[in-house]
Structure 1
Amino acid sequence: MDEPPPDHAALLARGDGPVTRGRLLRDLTALGLVEGDTVMFHTRMSAVGYVVGGPPTLIGALRDAVGERGTLMVTCGWNDALPYGFSGWPQPWQDAVRAEPFAYDPVLSEADHDNGRLPEALRRWPGAVRSRHPDVSFAALGAAATELTADHPWDDPHGPGSPLARLVALGGRVLMLGAPLETLTLLHHAEALADAPGKRFVDYEQPVLDGGRRVWRRFRDIDSSRGAFDYSSVTPVGQDPFETIVRDMLAAGIGCRGRVGAADSHLFEAGEVLDFGLTWIGEGLGGSR
């Protein structure tokens, strides 16, 4: 979801006017956010419009909506993670990389730029915490931030014990602020739990910090880049499988829809997303929940 710098003149030319913190709070409240919510959010800033003050304004409005008892969470990843195929590089290349002192650092390592501007802004926010997994890190801010992110499993990081699993367990919600439907990351949790044939996995290696010392670790996860399953038989040609699942979910009456700023936005209950995703994968690809 990497975006070019906003063209403020073009955004204002839509006729929606500037999007202020107060306007965002009113829209978020009308959509259904309430004080005390634990909410994972995905955002496309350009869809929201000309947000006066940029990401800090949007994060401020979200914090206003959920209050001191609430929590915000985003998916971060690591922008400079080594590619999965690193172990297949020529040995001199691998040796050169291993000789360098770099490692994933939850405090310093940038969030994946493909996730847009908000994850990087939230993870830098005073008081925010970030999970330890280099490839699948999450950042959170608020009352349940540590509970969501602590001891992120090294293997199966989308599965049991993950920040996604804890979001569901806490009765959390998922907010899509103009973000493409296929970016609903919680569906990776459904993939991790689904018992369906042909599940695809990746094994890879990354350097991480352990007690301030760099350690090379191996990891195993569902293949979230190529797809955990072959969905070609159950999705329209050219449509992302997650978009298909979310559209079917909305058609089934799950989630609510509204405008936040200029963005067509959606709010879902995390437990309902997981249940629908598990059922959809089971019925479409075979297997059981």
Structure 2
Amino acid sequence: MTATAAPARPHTRASLGAQLRTLGVRPGGTVLVHARLRGLGFLCGGPEAVLGALRDVLGPDGTLVVPTHTPENSDPAGWSNPPVPEDWWPVIRAELPGFDPAVTPSRFMGAFAELVRTWPGARRSDHPQVSFAALGPAAERILAGHARADMLGEGSPLARLYDLDADVLLLGVDHGRNTSLHLAEYRQPGPPRHRLGGAVRTADGGREWAWWDDVDLDESDFARLGTDLEATGVVRLGPVGDGTGRLVRQRAAVDFAVPWLARNRRTEDA
């Protein structure tokens, strides 16, 4: 049996905090974090070490935000990974539990996002597919009034983060996971739209199926967009654990992405 090489060193709350300060996380600021911790090496305390480090750097006046999306709470007719038989669709629509921001777990967002969602004092927006959770004094301002039919646009937490001049921190992921770039899609003239559905919890504790029209989101070119964004020098890159952290002002990313999408997607569609 071949022995597995030991990591170079364990990473602690203190050492991670020092790296995040060097990267440029701002005390008292607001930061939206997308994290895949597997590439960060051995974390002494796992996701809790990362959360503790970020809260240490942000301080009591800072606010931490994460995506806590629930993409499986959607019309099964559109499922492709994997698809389900058509004769299942009525059963799923009738029985899928209604989204409850207090208890519904996020899916595919990672252990760090789930830790923040369940942390004492965390708040969560009430969108059935693309909710966000936050810890800190700006949480309510960011999360309140998350519009169902404008889910990542001007009625969403992403726009409130833009208003607050927040940062985006990518840990172990690239801009392909940068949800804020969707805000730039909403800021295109006449973006394509489609019909969406999801199960929601009613005020009396029941559930119902809700439908709405929204922008047809497409992140397939976000990694390429991010490469061009980084070439402008507005993204700070540095070590976090054994991985790479990327820190960028959300406004800078969105403001760059609006003309980039208009230019590149128009060219591709021509």
Question: Match of 1:35, SS?
Answer: coil
Residue 163 of structure 2 corresponds to 169
Match of 1:218 among 211, 223, 241: 211
Q: Find the aligned partners of 1:18 and 1:208 in 2 and give their Cα distance.
A: 43
> Runs of 4+ in structure 1 displaced over 4 angstroms?
86-92
* CA gap 1:54/1:90 in 2 versus in 1, 3 angstroms: closer
Q: Find the aligned partners of 1:167 and 1:137 in 2 and give their Cα distance.
A: 14
Within 5 Å, give how 1:224-239 maps onto structure 2: 224=217, 227=218
Does 2:263 match 1:283?
yes
8 Å CA contact 1:84, 1:203 repeated in 2: no
Q: Give the C-alpha shift of residue 195 in structure 1.
A: 1.8
Within 5 Å, give how 1:127-142 maps onto structure 2: 127-142=121-136
Residue 195 of structure 1 corresponds to 189
Q: Give the C-alpha shift of residue 56 in structure 1.
A: 1.3
Match of 2:91 among 72, 84, 96: 96
* CA gap 1:101/1:135 in 2 versus in 1, 3 angstroms: closer
Extract unaligned runs of 5+ from structure 2: none
Within 5 Å, give how 1:1-289 maps onto structure 2: 13-15=6-8, 17-78=9-70, 80-85=72-77, 93-100=88-95, 102-112=97-107, 114-195=108-189, 199-211=191-203, 212-224=205-217, 227=218, 240-286=220-266
Question: Match of 1:13, SS?
Answer: coil
Q: Give the C-alpha shift of residue 93 in structure 1.
A: 3.6
TM-score between both structures, scaled by the size of structure 2: 0.89
1:71-100 deviation digits (Å, cap 9, x = unpaired): 111111116413452699888644433543
Question: Match of 1:155, SS?
Answer: helix
TM-score between both structures, scaled by the size of structure 1: 0.83
Q: Find the aligned partners of 2:135 and 2:235 in 1 and give their Cα distance.
A: 24
* CA gap 1:79/1:170 in 2 versus in 1, 3 angstroms: same
CA RMSD of the aligned region, Å?
2.4
8 Å CA contact 1:72, 1:141 repeated in 2: yes
Q: How many residues align?
A: 261
Question: Match of 2:189, SS?
Answer: coil
Which stretch shifts more, 157-166 or 177-186? 177-186
Question: Match of 2:95, SS?
Answer: coil
Q: Find the aligned partners of 1:192 and 1:117 in 2 and give their Cα distance.
A: 29
1:40-99 deviation digits (Å, cap 9, x = unpaired): 011110111111111111111111111111111111111641345269988864443354
Q: Find the aligned partners of 1:69 and 1:210 in 2 and give their Cα distance.
A: 34
Question: Match of 2:91, SS?
Answer: helix
Q: Find the aligned partners of 2:150 and 2:94 in 1 and give their Cα distance.
A: 28
